[in-house]
Structure 1
Amino acid sequence: MKKSLIALAVLGASGVAMAQSSVTLYGVADAGVGKVKYGAPAGNDANGKNQFIANSTMNNGNSRVGVRGVEDLGGGLKAGFNFETGLDLDNGNADAVFWQRNANMWLGGNWGTVKLGRTLNPTFYGIAAWELTGTANYSVVANTYSFAGAGPRNNSQLSYKTPDMGGFSAEVGYILKSDNADRAKWDLNLIYANGPIGVGLSANKTKGINTNYSLGAKYSFSNFALAASYTNANNAANLRRRGFGIGGSATFGAFALTVDLTRDTKNEWTGKKYTNGVVEGKYALSKRTFVYGAFLRLDGTNNYGIGVRHNF
Structure 2
Amino acid sequence: MKKSLIALAVLGFTGAAMAQSSVTLYGVADAGIARTQTRDPVTGDKTSKTGMAASGTMNNGTSRLGVRGVEDLGGGLKVGFNFEHGLSLGNGAGNLSGGQMWSRAANLWIGGNWGTFKMGRTLNPSFYALATWELTSTANYSAVDNTYGFTGEGSRTSNQFSYKTPNLGGFSAELGYVLKDDNAGKAKWDLGVMYANGPIGVGLGVNKEKDSKTNYALGGNYNFGNFKVAASYHNVYAAGSDLKRRGFSLGGTANLGAFAVTLDLTRDTKNDFGGKKYTNGVLEGKYALSKRTFVYAAYLRLDSTNNYGIGLRHNF
Query: TM-score by structure 2 length?
Result: 0.91
The yes-or-no answer on 1:20 pairing with 2:20 is yes
Give the % identical residues. 67
In the alignment, the residues of structure 2 paired with residue 297 and residue 222 of structure 1 have an alpha-carbon distance, to the nearest angstrom, of 28
Q: In the alignment, what sits opposite 1:78?
A: 78
Unaligned 5+ segments in structure 2 are 1-10, 40-46
The yes-or-no answer on 1:150 pairing with 2:153 is yes
Give the drift of 1:155. 0.5
Please give the secondary structure, in 2, of the residue aligned with 1:14.
helix
CA contact (8 A) 1:203 1:212 kept: yes
Question: How many residues were matched structurally?
Answer: 295
Could you list the per-position Cα deviations for residues 114-151 of structure 1 after superposition, in whole angstroms to 9, with x for gaps in the alignment? 00000001010000000000000000001100111110
In the alignment, the residues of structure 1 paired with residue 236 and residue 165 of structure 2 have an alpha-carbon distance, to the nearest angstrom, of 26
What are the residue-to-residue correspondences of 1:93-104 with 2, within 5 Å? 93-95=93-95, 97-104=100-107
Give the drift of 1:270. 2.4
Q: In the alignment, what sits opposite 1:249?
A: 253
CA contact (8 A) 1:80 1:107 kept: yes
CA contact (8 A) 1:72 1:79 kept: yes
Structure 1 residue corresponding to 2:268, chosen from 253, 260, 264: 264
In the alignment, the residues of structure 1 paired with residue 276 and residue 122 of structure 2 have an alpha-carbon distance, to the nearest angstrom, of 33
The yes-or-no answer on 1:49 pairing with 2:53 is no
Give the drift of 1:84. 0.3
CA contact (8 A) 2:55 2:95 kept: no
Give the drift of 1:13. 8.3
Give the drift of 1:19. 1.9
In the alignment, the residues of structure 1 paired with residue 274 and residue 151 of structure 2 have an alpha-carbon distance, to the nearest angstrom, of 16
Letter in 2 for 1:224: F
Unaligned 5+ segments in structure 1 are 1-10, 40-46
Please give the secondary structure, in 2, of the residue aligned with 1:36.
strand
In the alignment, the residues of structure 2 paired with residue 13 and residue 100 of structure 1 have an alpha-carbon distance, to the nearest angstrom, of 37
Please give the secondary structure, in 2, of the residue aligned with 1:48.
strand
Give the drift of 1:18. 1.9
In the alignment, the residues of structure 1 paired with residue 148 and residue 194 of structure 2 have an alpha-carbon distance, to the nearest angstrom, of 19
In the alignment, the residues of structure 2 paired with residue 67 and residue 301 of structure 1 have an alpha-carbon distance, to the nearest angstrom, of 37
In the alignment, the residues of structure 1 paired with residue 177 and residue 34 of structure 2 have an alpha-carbon distance, to the nearest angstrom, of 38
Give the drift of 1:101. 0.2
Q: 1:124 to 1:51 in 2, by over 3 A?
A: same
The yes-or-no answer on 1:110 pairing with 2:135 is no
In the alignment, the residues of structure 2 paired with residue 58 and residue 159 of structure 1 have an alpha-carbon distance, to the nearest angstrom, of 31
Instruction: Please report the RMSD computed on the Cα atoms of aligned residues, expressed in angstroms.
Output: 1.4
Q: In the alignment, what sits opposite 2:65?
A: 65
- Which runs of at least 4 in structure 1 moved beyond 2 Å after TM superposition? 11-16
Q: In the alignment, what sits opposite 1:159?
A: 162
In the alignment, the residues of structure 1 paired with residue 95 and residue 311 of structure 2 have an alpha-carbon distance, to the nearest angstrom, of 21
In the alignment, the residues of structure 1 paired with residue 158 and residue 13 of structure 2 have an alpha-carbon distance, to the nearest angstrom, of 36
